[in-house]
Amino acid sequence: MEKLEGKVAIVTGGAMGNGLGIVKVFLRHKAQVVILDYSEELENTINNLQEEYSSEAVTGYQVDIRESEKIKSICDEVYSKYGHIDILVNNAGVARLETFENMSDEIRDFHFDINIKGTWNVTKAVVPYMKKNNSSSIVNLSSVTGPMVADSGEVAYATTKAALIGFTKGLAMELVDQKIRVNAIMPGYIHTPMVDGIAKDTDASNPEKVIEGIASGIPMKRLGTIEELGELAAFLASDESSYITGQGIVIDGGSTLPETMSVGV
C-alpha cells in the first residue's frame, strides 16, 4: 500500500513549479489530488495528469485564494464529493523583487494577501473537515528566505515566508489535540520555471550560466528538483511523520550551511 493511498489532498498553486512536483509525487503515492490555482495553465496541467494517471485521480479549480468565500465553497464541494479531506499543502505564493524604499503598497499587499492571507483562507476552510478525521496533515511552503537568509529586494517576500513559520507553530499547538499535524517546508533553490525566468532576466543570452552560478554557491553544487520537494511533502503528509508537528524542515542542498556565503530564494 502506498503511503498516501486513500487520502484526499488539496494542493494550492499545483499547476506548475514546486506545486506540480508535489502533485506528481502525491499521485505516485496514490493520493486523490485537488489542485487550486489561479493560473491559466491549470487546465493543461490537469489534462496531462489525467492522461498519465486517471480522470478520477486529479481534479482542479481555478480560483484566487484571496477570495475566502469562494475557497470555502470549493472546500465544501470537495468534502461533499469525497467525504473527507486529509491533507492540505499551502504551496501557492508570489515573489516580486523590489527594494524596501521603492516598493509600492500595492506590491507589498500583493505579497501579504496571497502568501499570508491566502494561506490563512484555505486553511480556515479546510480545518473543520480535518477535525472529523483520525489524523490529518497541513504542510505550508515557507522558504529559507526570511527565517534564515535574505537578499536585497526580498523584504516583502521574506516577511511573508517568515510569517508562515509563526503560522505553522501557532496552528500546530491549537490543532494537536484534534490529531491535525502542521509543518512547514523551507526550500532553498529548487529548479522551477520561476528560477529559469530569473536566470533569463539576468542574462538572456546565457541563462544556463546563471543557473550554474547559483549551483556553484550550493554545497551540493546543484539545484533541487520539484520531485525531491514533493517527496518531502509526501513524507510530512503521510503517517510516516506521525510524531512531527510544528516544525520547519529545510531542503536546500546545504546552501544555508556555510558561514561565509548564503544563498536565498
Strand segments, DSSP code E, in 119-264 are 136-141, 180-187, 248-251
Q: What homologous superfamily does CATH list for 8-190+225-251?
A: NAD(P)-binding Rossmann-like Domain (3.40.50.720)
243 part of the active site: no
For residue 262, the model assigns a pLDDT of 52
Q: Catalytic residue among 79, 157, 189, 243, which?
A: 157
Spans of the chain below 70 pLDDT: 261-265
For residue 223, the model assigns a pLDDT of 97
Distances (CA, A) of 232 to 26, 128, 156, 177, 203: 10, 25, 26, 24, 32
pTM recorded for the entire structure: 0.95
Domain assignments of the chain as residue spans, ordered by start = 8-190+225-251, 192-223
**Over the stretch 187-201, which tens digit does the pLDDT of each residue have?**
999 998 878 887 888
